[in-house]
Amino acid sequence: MMKKEIYDAKQDPRFQTPYVDEECWKERILEDGGAIPYLYVHGGFQGTGVKFLLCFPQKEAYRGRFFQYLSPFPGPDEELASLDKTGEDDRIAFALKNGAYSVESNMGSRQMFGPSPEPQLVWKASAAVAEYSRVKAKEVYCGGNDGAWSRPYGYVHGGSGGGYKTMACIENTNAWDGAVPYVIGTPVSLPNSITLHAQGMRALRRVYGQIVDALDAGGSGDMYAGLTEEEAFLLKEVTAMGYNPRTWFLEAAGFIEDGSLPIQIPHVLEGDPEYFQDFWTLPGYLGADKKGNTDKDRIQFTGRVRAVHLPEKEEAAGGQNGVNDAWKKQLTEGGAAWIELEEAPRGEDLYIYRMTIDIQTGEAAGKKLTLERIEGNRLVLGPCYGIQDLSALLSSIRPGDLVRLDNSDYIAIQSYYRHQVPSDPSFHAWDQFRDAQGNPTLPQRKSVMGYNMTGTGTVQDGEIQGKVIVIQSLMDESTWPWCGDWYRGKVREAKGGEEDFRLYYMDNCMHGDVSWLENNVVTNYLGALRQALLDMSDWVERGIEPRKTTGYRYQDGQILLAETARERGGLQPVVTMLANGVTCAHVKVGEEVTFTVQVAVPEGAGDVTAVDYDYVSDASLSMQKIELTTFRHPGDVTRIVAESGLHGAVSSSRHVYDQPGTYFASARVKVNRKGDGTDYFTQVKNIARVRVVVEES
């Protein structure tokens, strides 16, 4: 096998003429009101479309390193997307506060829509920016004097689509010393992990609450109880594919979101248009079963336009570069626009989510819009993909024009993962669609599309050119937790071991890298991500070994963590919570409930800085959108060192319920490596909860 050629951006003739068009001192305002001065440097490379933003700390604060963030979906001005972040989300302030300068770029993106003519540019341009940042840093800190200079260490990080880019960077270039990809996928994750989620959202939409209640604190543990045969079949299938069934709490709460599927569908339609006919007609596809729920949920309706209402406010979503929202830059919001028909579909439990509105006649014929909801005869528009001027398009639709409502393609794409069985047997989630000889048992498409959908022009091979720490969430709704385990195997295969690799699983965390993603059920992994970056710098710069990979096992598509903190290790504390000594307490109105929490911190992971309580979330989980639950009830906390040598804490709190009902109380625990409760960037969190059934006195 030929040795892989490692890209050296310093030798690329395209990136020899950098320019700086703005350079000035500014300040980042911290959560406590303090300010950090920094040198703002904006520029690019002539003739390439590559733009960058470098933010340098003052000389006395600089410690010889930089952190470079890669957004999941680059846009023409992506280098500026982190400027508006504040508090715990402020990547720039985190870097400055920890002696690093911050690096971001648009990765060469010239357009918001459409594929890139050179997908490899995202990591080549990123490497070029990293190398130029070192040149600029030498100018900033020592006036270009080589004798007083040492090369800055560089660490690249990004999640989801940015995780693909981060892995491509550390595998194919020499620009960085370490990488922290997080909530990552595999070469066959797209569009499969997202279509799988949508399949479950549709097929299980009547039983989310039952599933969640069974798995919740004090529940029966039997998530299949009460389900129809078809519902149980699909729940088992999507769970074996890797979707954590606890994550259906979102849908049970009314938060319906299929991630970036709206921008994945056009790729599949273009690359495999025959599938959308085959699905409804050929044996072996769910759509051909006219007795199944796929056919029952299918809607095809043609109506005549009566009136059109233009958007009240039209805008493409901007300033988003997190793993859950960066893709939305490619959408145009519906802006409360609607199309009124002479007659619209009627019926109970109509499946209209992501339904397409196809304009059949008139000036706008051939254009497609997305339905949000039906109000009487009005089709209220949702966010539309690939439309840059929604008002102009709607203005061209006239009364009398025909439109067709059709959810056929959206239902069909939900099953695409069943017909994308990889030939590589290491993707064990697809074993359920293989026979004893490893051959697919269902019809397969002509190619596995995911290999061309990473957005990097490469397929991760595990041949890392530096040290790597992966952060992966166990309740990830957009990618499979086992993807981290798969990549760990690729690194072992390529490097002969994992001396330069760590994988940390984060329990009770989802896909998003935002601080507000926190409530009575989940917390966020931001503190662990930031700590991993600091651990990476210690590992590279001082040879300080980070904590060992989290202890876990893979079983039937699911990642199961070791029970105890000693066995589990990693970064996150292990938390248990009881109410009156049990996970489901039955009490009377006015009766005091005693909550107890035990926290075990893996060796070397730090000390407990807070145990906070929330008593009042009810069983309905009635959140129309995910909002921060304010934990306002601190309990008594005693830090302990158990006989095993593990650090931890015990905490207790009391509460009286004055109304009957079923409540879920929770405790959120924070751990900091140095025991510093004021460093909000590096609080590693976990959460536990109990059920309290309050009856009349």
CA-based end-to-end distance of the chain = 76
pLDDT of residue 653: 87
pLDDT of residue 629: 35
What does the buried/exposed string (b/e) look like for 656-675 if buried means 16 or more CB atoms within 10 Å of the residue's CB? Answer: ebeeeeebbbbbbbbbbbee
- The length of the chain is 697
pLDDT of residue 444: 98
Q: Which of the residue ranges 104-113, 347-356, 611-620 would you say has the lowest mean pLDDT?
A: 611-620
Domain at 573-695: CATH architecture: Sandwich (2.60)
Q: Is 404 helix (H, G, I), strand (E, B) or coil?
A: strand
Instruction: Give the DSSP H or E segment for 215.
Output: helix 208-215
The mean pLDDT of 477-481, rounded to a whole number, is: 96
pLDDT at 324 over 70: no
Which residues make up the CATH 2.60.40.650 domain(s) of the chain?
A: 573-695
Which residues make up the CATH 3.40.50.1820 domain(s) of the chain?
A: 9-187+454-542
The mean pLDDT of 422-433, rounded to a whole number, is: 98
pLDDT digits (tens, 9 = 90+) for 437-478: 999 999 999 999 999 999 999 999 999 999 999 999 999 999
CA distance 15 to 241: 43
* Residues facing residue 470 across a β-bridge: 503
pLDDT digits (tens, 9 = 90+) for 38-76: 999 999 999 999 999 999 999 999 999 999 999 998 889
Quote the tokens at residue 406.
């059709």
Question: Sorting pLDDT into bands at 50, 70 and 90, what band is 641?
Answer: very low
pLDDT at 329 over 60: no
Q: Is the Cα torsion angle 439, 440, 441, 447 positive or negative in sign?
A: negative
The mean pLDDT of 347-356, rounded to a whole number, is: 91
Which residues make up the CATH 2.40.10.170 domain(s) of the chain?
A: 299-406
pLDDT at 112 over 90: no
CATH topology of domain 299-406: Thrombin, subunit H (2.40.10)
pLDDT of residue 334: 65
Q: What is the CATH number of domain 9-187+454-542?
A: 3.40.50.1820
Across the chain, mean pLDDT equals 91
Q: Which of the residue ranges 46-60, 305-319, 370-384, 558-572 would you say has the lowest mean pLDDT?
A: 305-319
Quote the tokens at residue 585.
């307490």
CA distance 303 to 342: 7
Q: Is 447 helix (H, G, I), strand (E, B) or coil?
A: coil
CA distance 583 to 596: 11
HEC assignment per residue over 8-75: CHHHCHHHCCEEEEEEEEEEEECCCCCEEEEEEEEEEECCCCCEEEEEEECHHHCCCEEEEECCCCCC
Instruction: Give the DSSP H or E segment for 561.
Output: strand 558-561
> Which residues does 355 contact at the CB level (< 8 Å), separation at least 6?
299, 370, 371, 405, 406, 407, 410
Question: Sorting pLDDT into bands at 50, 70 and 90, what band is 146?
Answer: confident
Quote the tokens at residue 158.
């990004």
pLDDT digits (tens, 9 = 90+) for 183-216: 999 999 999 999 999 999 999 999 999 999 999 9
Quote the tokens at residue 496.
């002969």
Nearest by Cα to 421 from 308, 545, 284:
284
> Which residues does 233 contact at the CB level (< 8 Å), separation at least 6?
none
CA distance 333 to 335: 5
Q: Which of the residue ranges 100-109, 224-233, 264-273 would you say has the lowest mean pLDDT?
A: 264-273
pLDDT digits (tens, 9 = 90+) for 565-596: 999 999 999 999 999 999 999 999 999 999 99
pLDDT at 529 over 90: yes
Question: Sorting pLDDT into bands at 50, 70 and 90, what band is 633?
Answer: very low
Q: Is 550 helix (H, G, I), strand (E, B) or coil?
A: coil
pTM as predicted: 0.92
pLDDT digits (tens, 9 = 90+) for 69-95: 999 988 899 999 999 999 999 999 999
Is 150 exposed, middle or buried, given 0-12, 13-18 or 19+ CB atoms closer than 10 A?
A: exposed
